[in-house]
Amino acid sequence: METFAHPRKFVRNPGYRDDRAQVTAALDLNAIDAPIRGIISAFNVLPYCYTLQCCYGHFLHATQCDPHNMEPVPACDVGPVEYRIAYLAFCIEDSTPGLRLRTLLEGVPAIDNKYVQFGSPGWFWEQRLNSYALQVKPERFRDRDVATIEHREALRVQDVRDLFFERLKEVVETSSGEFGAA
């Protein structure tokens, strides 16, 4: 599955409001990984944005085989780690506040651009115009949703993932404040 493509420019999307209403009405927060439910909920309050898909990111290894686990990578070496991508995909309205949000999201890879990417995967864009995704993945695997990495790198990815979601909280708080003040 394609997980990365360079970001596209906004295009006119006359169906944005109907699409947003449909997607947000169908949203089941209980189906979302618990650590990021609040972030997803907060983004979906913004009228110029809605989320499409997300994943907290999961680490599987010799002592953890549950693909939905939320456990941190052990400090002791557990051998190769299968990493399942952490990401958040959005649809953003072509509007002034939407552009401000997209600009903030484009800045998230500054956390560590070797591990965080911002783009417009084609299969999201085909379903919803003005779709963007942020993902945490070693750059060499940026086009895959699963990768096997060494234990030491898994610890680094985990740290970046945690910073990534903290940064997304800041972005949505900033955006919520701007919307509330408007």
SS (H, E, C) 118-148: EECCHHHHHHCCCEEEEEECCHHHCCCCEEE
Q: Is the dihedral of CA 11, 12, 16, 17 positive or negative?
A: positive
What is the model's pLDDT at position 144? 87
Query: Does residue 9 lie in a domain region?
Result: no
Query: Does residue 135 lie in a domain region?
Result: yes
- Measured in residues, the chain has a length of 182
Query: Does residue 6 lie in a domain region?
Result: no
Containing structural domain, residue 177: 16-181
Q: What is the pLDDT of residues 7-52, one digit of tens each?
A: 889 999 999 999 999 999 999 999 999 999 999 999 999 999 999 9
pLDDT band at residue 182, thresholds of 50, 70 and 90?
very low
Least confident of 8-17, 21-30, 153-162, 170-179: 170-179
Query: Does residue 5 lie in a domain region?
Result: no
Q: What is the pLDDT of residues 116-126, one digit of tens each?
A: 999 998 888 88
Query: Does residue 165 lie in a domain region?
Result: yes
Question: Do 138 and 156 contact (CB within 8 A), yes or no?
Answer: no
Q: How many CB atoms lie within 10 A of CB 72?
A: 12
Distance CA 80, CA 87 (A): 21
Question: Which own/partner contact pairs does 17-23 have at CB distance under 8 Å and 24+ positions apart?
Answer: 19/50, 19/91, 19/128, 20/47, 20/50, 20/91, 20/93, 23/50, 23/51, 23/52, 23/91, 23/128
Query: For the chain, how many structural domains are there in total?
Result: 1
Question: Do 118 and 7 contact (CB within 8 A), yes or no?
Answer: yes
Query: Does residue 7 lie in a domain region?
Result: no
Average pLDDT, the chain: 93
Give me the CATH number covering residue 114. Answer: 3.30.1960
- 18's CB contacts (< 8 A; 6+ apart) are none
Note if the pTM is more than 0.85. yes
Query: Does residue 8 lie in a domain region?
Result: no
Query: Does residue 120 lie in a domain region?
Result: yes
